[in-house]
Amino acid sequence: MAPALLPSSPALAQSSTSRLPQTSMQDGSSYDSQMAQNPSFLAGLQVINDKMQLQERLQRKQAAFEEVMEINNKEKEAHSRTKEEVQSLKNDIKEKDKAIDKQTEQIKSLQSQAASLQSKYEDERHKVADAHGEIGGLLQQIASKDSKIDELKSAGSQLRERYTASKDKIKQLQAENSDLDQRLRAATDRVRELEGFATGFIELDENHLIDGYAMLWEYATNEVYSQLEADLDSKVLRCSVGRAETLRPCYSAPHPSPIFQLSCGETYAPRHDFGHAIEGN
């Protein structure tokens, strides 16, 4: 509460003047001189002066108080605005906290997903490493198989060359065999021609003649085998010689004449088959 203000100095002077005797107003000079010597009047004037000074001080304090109150009101308004701003900031902080909590949950979810993806990545990386190892092993196997294939190709090429050489040799032998067949036919025809002349004049023991023909067969077989052994494969040669054994003479069969027969009941056809047997092998 503001203190009550004292009356202004004109009112106080008028109040003080109204209390003076009317007679002193009429005689100004005499009255002034009398009042100047009156101690009560002097004391009253002193009191009035003190009151006026106090009134001025109170007015200054009132002005200062009003200024302080105005400042206080402004501060209250500022404080109110500050409180509103603080409340708004608190609300913003709450919203931010909610958003942070939501972001934290999302971050935790993303971290969980990242951990799961990292685990899957490690699994896939191990699988890829295993696959690389298997691929390396397969590449080694492929390289080994390629090497074997190259070896087989080389061996096949060599075999083809040998086969071609064998075919050429067989053709050469067939040509030689054909020539021998022709010579054999001519010799056989000559022998048969001579047989008609010799059978009536030559008288030999049949067993002795067969033994001579057997020795001749062994000699011819050994000579031909030694020649073929240098040119033909051993497997082909064994098969051919096996077939050639069918050309041996049948010693147990009776011979009406001392003429050498190439096989039992045959003269020339088995020799021709022997040439085809060599060609087939």
CA angle 209/183/249 to nearest 5° reads 30
Q: Comparing C-alpha atoms, which of 157, 255, 278 is closest to residue 205?
A: 255
* Whole-number average pLDDT of the chain: 74
Distance CA 68, CA 76 (A): 12
pTM above 0.85, yes or no: no
Number of helices followed by number of strands (H, E) in the chain: 7, 0
* Res 93 pLDDT > 90: yes
- Read off the pLDDT band of 253 (50, 70, 90): very low
Residue 226 is predicted with a pLDDT of 77
Query: What are the extents of the domains in the chain?
Result: 204-280
Phi-psi bin for 245: left (phi > 0), alpha (psi -120 to 50), beta? alpha
* Three-state DSSP state, 49: helix
Return the structure tokens found at 133.
């190892």
Three-class HEC string of 128-160: HHHHHHHHHHHHHHHHHHHHHHHHHHHHHHHHH
Query: What pLDDT is recorded for position 224?
Result: 79
What would the pLDDT profile of 147-163 be if each residue is shown by its tens digit? Answer: 889 888 888 888 888 88
Q: Please tell me the distance from the alpha carbon of residue 56 to that of residue 76, in angstroms, as a whole number.
A: 29
Residue 124 confidence (pLDDT): 92
* pLDDT in the model for residue 22: 47
The vertex-86 CA angle with 81 and 91, nearest 5°, equals: 125
Instruction: Classify residue 263 by its DSSP letter.
Output: B
Residue 185 is predicted with a pLDDT of 86
